Amino acid sequence: MIKKRLKGFSLIEIIVVISISSIILSSLFYLFSNINILNKFTTAKTEKSIEFAYFYHLIRNDLSNSVPGIINNENSIYLKDQNNLVINRLILNNKNPKIKNLIKIKWHNENGKVFRTQYSFANISERNRKLIIDVNDKVSFKMEKINEQRFSNVEDVITPSVISIEIGKNKIKTLTFKVGNS
């Protein structure tokens, strides 16, 4: 009788296959863990970009709808210091869109966090204070250009026509805004 010899894998062949498989699996694990880190990083950058775009458009809207001149014996747009920008602006009335209301907006910086506070006209009490963006860096408001047009009989009224916002200490980012619709 002829004996058939069954062929199988030797111990060395099995060890080689297990080693190669473990190398492939560890490289796949490393690749997927890097993709997860990259996804978290990209998501954080995207959220920060959305916050920054919201901040930019909100302050641009406030400045473009500002009212020139003097309101309640103060400039309608003024800088208290480099941390506070006050704007008197028009908004549409919720009940009747043909009517516009006058409100006061205060933009202020507190330790790298930019807040927007809304006051109703002739009412000093705070109506709506909201954190707009946390830049974790220095933020300062500056008057870049003064409007030459006269909106009042008072001589020392300074109305800005261009306002800039500087963000950062070392790498300064500057945002420049035109005041009013003119």
At residue 16, the pLDDT reads 94
- pLDDT tens for each residue of 142-181: 887 776 655 555 555 566 778 888 888 888 888 888 887 6
Query: Would you place residue 14 in the very low, low, confident or very high pLDDT band (cuts 50, 70, 90)?
Result: very high
Query: DSSP letter string over 3-48?
Result: PPPPP---HHHHHHHHHHHHHHHHHHHHHHHHHHHHHHHHHHHHHH
| Structure token pair of residue 44 | 């954080």
Higher pLDDT, 18 or 68: 18
At residue 17, the pLDDT reads 93
Least confident span in 8-17, 36-45, 120-129: 120-129
User: Based on C-alpha coordinates, what's the Rg of the chain?
Assistant: 31
Task: Kindly report the number of other CB atoms within 10 A of residue 77's CB atom.
Answer: 27
* Residue that is written with structure tokens 């970009």 in the block: 49
- pLDDT tens for each residue of 138-150: 888 888 777 665 5
- pLDDT tens for each residue of 60-90: 888 888 887 777 777 778 888 888 888 888 8
107-118 average pLDDT score: 88
Average per-residue pLDDT for the chain = 81
What φ, ψ does residue 13 adopt, rounded to 5°? -65, -40
Query: Would you place residue 122 in the very low, low, confident or very high pLDDT band (cuts 50, 70, 90)?
Result: low
- pLDDT tens for each residue of 56-67: 999 888 888 888
Task: Report percent pLDDT > 90 for the chain.
Answer: 13
